[in-house]
Structure 1
Amino acid sequence: MGQLLRQMEEAKTYIQSQTAIQPQIGLILGSGLGELADEIQDAIRIPYESIPHFPISTVEGHAGQLVIGHLHNKTVIAMQGRFHYYEGYSMQEVTFPVRVMKALGVDQLIVTNACGGMNPDFNPGDLMLIEDHLNMTGANPLIGSNDSTLGPRFPDMSRAYTPELLELVRDTAKSLGITVQQGVYAGITGPTYMTPAELTMLRKLGGDAVGMSTVPEVIVASHMAMKVIGISCVTDMAIGEHLEPLSHEQVIEVANRTKPMFISLVREIVARL
């Protein structure tokens, strides 16, 4: 057994020793958006530091625990806080929890994040359904030896964000009276926010929003044939020609304002999966 498979098995075994619930749906809850995990019923909360081989979240606003239980009669596992490449973790470490979710039986993943809006038609507080991404990190979590039991050496990414689930999210949002934008998410490493010239470049390349997460997790989920929904909360406008100074506190403040709408949307998506 390869090292990655062994580590996955050890993490899975530990999590299964804490609960008999077998999750079907995975949730990755980003900056300021972790409150949805508090709605999970019959919840077992497992701190990341107690799980073998898990990194530890170091970002303000991330609780740093797995929450496993029931949401709308579906069994779910939620990451209340995620890991980022800019924290100094490898891409393999950043995406390890997605590997473990798959080992636990999860085949549908909802990934959320806070992002900057580059599309001038967007506004702070909008939710954007991710239809595709640009990997601008200069790295890839699949670099290195490939274990064919996890996925192919050269995985197809043309349906990384599952088309039929995009339609489900659009229909769900419409039924709730929530307007959702749709676009391309540009993933960068961070931790710096981007310069005006960099943002202008990304917009010209086709990006509608920019953020420091999500792309590695989606690559790994796609590698393992998981179905994926990606939703971004636009916390600020990142338009190169009109860029204003930005702080992490501003990002969290807008994410918190958007929280009720976000939670209601994801809650109903889970119910319909």
Structure 2
Amino acid sequence: MADWNHPLDDPSADPFAIAAEAASDIHRLTGVERHDIAVTLGSGWGKAAELIGETVATIPATEVTGFSKPALEGHVGTLRSIVTPGGKNVLVIGARTHYYEGHGVRRVVHSVRTAAATGAATMVLTNGAGGIRETWKPGQPVLISDHLNLTADSPLEGATFIDLTDLYSARLRDLARTIDPSLDEGVYTQFRGPHYETPAEVQMAKAIGGHIVGMSTALEAIAARQAGMEILGFSLITNLAAGIQKTPLSHAEVIEAGREAEPVISDLLARVIGAL
């Protein structure tokens, strides 16, 4: 019998049963019976957790079945249960597994499936990403209206056919604009990573309808739709994409742009979540 190092690495394991076990762990560790909203905090969005409401509990993600320590600076590695002033319970996920880590799609989307298993009907996905539109500036938040999944992979297994029309909720995007009418939107393009895109790849994404390039979110959104969740996506434009920006890209630049934008975008996200 194989000795699997992680429960989701066993191909015979049921990922939804493991998500249910993780949700049970969250209930036990936080004392919160169910959550209404879940939010994954990408690079630059971390401070929003301080503004959403009153923290009920903060737990290391590694204490929850199926979760791993984040490999990337800018992700805090915790799960936090927060109650909003309106009485909604929010599960804040600061432990994202990226596709480029090579652990497989099940582990990439485990946090989303766990959120759904806790009862969350709304999934807010955030990231730091490169912008293709030259009018966008580093530090600008934009709504995700749709995506291009260029990972050549899917969280759906077997003959599982899920409609992705209106994957990113128009209703929730309209609600976000009641908080900030200046919010622009665009199509997010997920590449495999971890290398940044070449200028030619950025032009390819632009030619097929992309406006934002990054290494997360699309696979998570598909899993959230499979779970029946309503999805809102935000990208923080940390830099203009390769070939649009004339200087070399660096992760340090992404982190710095996130730090500078964090107070403004975190306040925006907290106000949007408060309106959900």
TM superposition score normalised by structure 2: 0.90
User: Kindly tell me: are residues 232 and 242 of structure 1, through their superposed partners in 2, closer, same or farther at Cα, counting changes over 3 Å?
Assistant: closer
How far the C-alpha of 1:46 sits from its partner, in A, is 1.4
Report how far residue 117 of structure 1 moved.
Answer: 0.4
User: Counterpart of 1:172 in structure 2: which amino acid?
Assistant: I
- Which residue identity is paired with 1:137? T
| CA root-mean-square deviation | 1.6
Counterpart position of 1:133:
147
Check 1:123–1:82 CA distance in 2 against 1; reply closer, same or farther (3 A cut).
Answer: same
Deviates more, 1:222-231 or 1:33-42: 33-42
> What's the CA shift for 1:205?
1.0
Judged with a 3 Å threshold, the aligned counterparts in structure 2 of structure 1 residues 173 and 242 are, in CA distance, closer, same or farther, namely: closer
2: distance between equivalents of 1:170 and 1:15?
32
Q: Which residue is 1:215 aligned to?
A: 218
- 2:38 equivalent in structure 1: 26
Within-5 A mapping of 1:51-200: 51-73=64-86, 74-142=88-156, 144-145=157-158, 153-174=160-181, 179-200=182-203
1:241 shift after superposition: 5.3
Q: Which amino acid aligns with 2:76?
A: A
Give the Å deviation of 1:124: 1.1
SS for the counterpart of 1:34 is: coil
**Residue in structure 2 matched with residue 246 of structure 1 by the alignment:** 249
CA distance in structure 2 between the partners assigned to 1:116 and 1:90 by the alignment: 24
CA distance in 2, matches of 1:70, 1:162: 23
The corresponding residue for 1:11 is 22
Unaligned runs of 5+ in 1: 147-152
**Distance in 1, Cα, partners of 2:172 & 2:20:** 29
Which whole-Å CA distance do the structure 2 matches of 1:232 and 1:246 have between them? 17
- Counterpart in the other structure of 1:149: none
Structure 1 runs, 4 residues or longer, greater than 6 Å off: none
Distance in structure 1 (CA, Å) of the matches to 2:189 and 2:266: 23
- Aligned residue for 2:180, secondary structure, equals helix
The one-letter amino acid of 1:163's match is A
SS at match of 1:240: coil
Q: Aligned residue for 2:240?
A: 237
3-state DSSP of counterpart to 1:68: strand
Whole-angstrom CA distance in 2 between matches of 1:75 and 1:38: 14
Per the alignment, in what secondary structure is the counterpart of residue 57 of structure 1? coil
Letter in 2 for 1:215: A
Unaligned runs of 5+ in 2: 1-11
Asked if 1:270 is matched to 2:273, the reply is yes
Given that residues 38 and 92 in structure 2 are in contact (C-alpha distance below 8 angstroms), is that contact kept between their aligned partners in structure 1?
yes
- Percent identical pairs in the alignment equals 34
CA shift, 1:239, in A, is: 4.9
How far apart, in 2, do the equivalents of 1:5 and 1:126 lie? 36
Distance 1:128 1:42, change over 3 A: closer
